[in-house]
Amino acid sequence: MLALEFIGFTYVTNFLTTGLEQVIFDVFDSANRLFRDWGLPVRFLYLDSLTLEPGYLITIRTPEGSINLYPLEVLVDFLDYRLKVEMEKNDGLEMNKIFGITSFPLASRNRYFDFYESFLGYQTERLDRRIMVLSMRPFESDVLRVALRVLESPHEDEMTKKLAKMVVRREMEILRSRLLKGILHEVGHAFGLGHCSNSCVMNPPRNIWEWDTRPVAYCDSCWRKLRRGLNEASGDL
């Protein structure tokens, strides 16, 4: 039987609404439940949330307007440090990976040119540690953002807020599904899976509507590769 491998799980709290924070915990539970039901020897282990100093926040200009974000390099540094702290505890847990979620877009400055490259999910390795980052922003609908602003406004009447609550409930369920698929997709990459063209969570979409058609599952081919990747990872630990 393969040893259980843990992946540290955290999220950036800055400017995160209570509703979106609950979505993160929901998908954390859902992912672990799927891993258990599928018989995969991997689990997310919740670590403390991250709160980054406002001084790290930058503003970049895009065709759609200015957006605020934390540079990808900053997020990776913080996540790597958090993972090293856990690994140095030497408490018997097999864990050399960490997964971080942010509500900000992900972007990294090109080191040679003055522009930013955007990412949905990102992974990198530092020595024997793997750092994974996923942004919630591409999965959030414009309708959800508008409804959340209505609920936060002190100037909206009760009927408008009641309608906004109904919209939020519906859109949050869609967000949970999208985010869960994003997590499974990145975990697949962490254990050696590439993109595929089957009906599979590893099939990258051209747009968010295609993402909604992807199953919350790996295809048979990716499933076999994932099991092999877990076997190899277990042998390395």
Taking only the tens place, the pLDDT of each residue in 66-75 is 878 888 888 9
- What CATH architecture does domain 5-231 belong to? 3-Layer(aba) Sandwich (3.40)
pLDDT above 90: percentage of residues in the chain: 49
Lowest-confidence region among 119-133, 143-157, 171-185, 202-216:
143-157
In this predicted structure, the answer to whether residue 65 has a pLDDT above a threshold of 80 is no
Tell me the residue ranges of DSSP E strands in 103-188. Answer: 106-109, 116-119, 121-126, 129-135
Average pLDDT (100-116) is 76
What per-residue confidence (pLDDT) applies to 14? 79
* pLDDT mean across residues, the chain: 87
The fraction of the chain above a pLDDT of 70, given in percent, is 91
Instruction: Fill in the DSSP letter of residue 2.
Output: P
Q: What angle do CA 25, 33, 44 make, to 5 degrees?
A: 60
pLDDT at 235: 56
Q: What pLDDT digit, counting tens, does each position of 139-150 carry?
A: 988 898 888 888
pLDDT at position 185 over 90 = yes
pLDDT one-digit tens code per residue, 40-54: 999 999 998 988 888
Measured distance CA(59)–CA(66) in Å, rounded: 6
Confidence at residue 147, expressed as pLDDT on a 0 to 100 scale: 87
Instruction: For residues 47 and 82, give the distance between their C-alpha atoms in angstroms, rounded to a whole number.
Output: 9
**Cβ neighbours around 74 below 10 Å, total:** 16
Band of residue 80 on the pLDDT scale cut at 50, 70, 90: very high
- pTM for the structure as a whole: 0.89
Task: State whether residue 221 is helix, strand or coil.
Answer: helix
